[in-house]
């Protein structure tokens, strides 16, 4: 028996709704290029206002660094006092909720879409992502579709979260594994060469 291969000519995306009309999506692409992806654009409150105009729910005190990418602002909710880092990519084909006091570091990727690799038609799949209060997605880390990052949890630099992360855990690696508990104090860590 010969194996079946994906037949990408049979792929259809017509079941997926972008949530807005084509003219609105095109307008968003232009505004994103001018004001979010632009490395010279440093005014966080102006970017937050733009995102709100396109339907995002953005809290107060949100820091939005230059070169940020957001697929669909109307599917984005960001709580108070969050940081969205340079070159982070929120590829939100499904809702993404970032609760208050979260940090999305440089180059991090929140990826809500995927494909059913076991079907010949390579069907599109998407699932929401949630970053719970006080969580931190490290630089170049990836959060996969359907994942919830627990309250206070850390996904370390370059790690890949393909499953939910427990609250207050520190996760490293690909796939991300819990390596220790996160403890937050007024004094914080003292680095000794590590």
Span 31-36, average pLDDT? 96
- pLDDT for 12: 84
Residue 10 maps to a domain: no
CATH of the domain at 114: 2.160.10.10
| Residue range of the domain that includes 100 | 20-181
Asked if residue 175 has a cis previous peptide bond (ω within 30° of 0), the answer is yes
**Number of domains within the chain:** 1
Residue 191 maps to a domain: no
Average pLDDT of the chain? Answer: 93
Span 157-163, average pLDDT? 98
Q: What is the pLDDT of residues 54-80, one digit of tens each?
A: 999 999 999 999 999 999 999 999 999
Q: Angle at Cα 194 formed by Cα 147 and Cα 176, nearest 5°?
A: 15
The fraction of the chain above a pLDDT of 70, given in percent, is 96
- pLDDT for 16: 78
Phi, psi of 136 (to 5 degrees): -140, 120
Residue 57 maps to a domain: yes
pTM greater than the 0.85 cutoff: yes
Is the predicted pLDDT of residue 24 greater than 50, yes or no? yes
Span 116-128, average pLDDT? 91
Is the predicted pLDDT of residue 190 greater than 80, yes or no? no
Residue 26 maps to a domain: yes
- pLDDT for 54: 98
């Amino acid at each position: 028996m010969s194996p079946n291969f994906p037949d990408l000519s049979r792929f259809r995306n017509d079941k997926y709704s972008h949530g807005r009309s084509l003219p609105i999506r095109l307008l968003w692409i232009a505004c994103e290029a001018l004001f979010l992806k632009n490395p010279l654009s440093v005014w966080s409150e102006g970017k937050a206002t733009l995102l709100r105009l396109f339907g995002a729910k953005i809290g107060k005190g949100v820091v939005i660094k230059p070169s940020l990418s957001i697929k669909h602002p109307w599917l984005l909710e960001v709580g108070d006092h969050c940081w969205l880092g340079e070159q982070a990519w929120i590829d939100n084909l499904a809702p993404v909720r970032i609760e208050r006091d979260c940090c999305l570091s440089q180059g991090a990727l929140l990826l809500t879409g995927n494909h059913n690799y076991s079907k010949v038609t390579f069907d599109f799949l998407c699932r929401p992502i949630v970053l719970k209060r006080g969580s931190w997605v490290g630089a170049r880390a990836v959060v996969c579709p359907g994942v919830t990052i627990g309250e206070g949890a850390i996904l370390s630099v370059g790690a890949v979260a393909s499953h939910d992360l427990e609250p207050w855990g520190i996760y490293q690696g690909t796939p991300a594994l819990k390596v220790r508990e996160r403890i937050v104090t007024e004094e914080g860590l003292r680095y000794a060469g590590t």
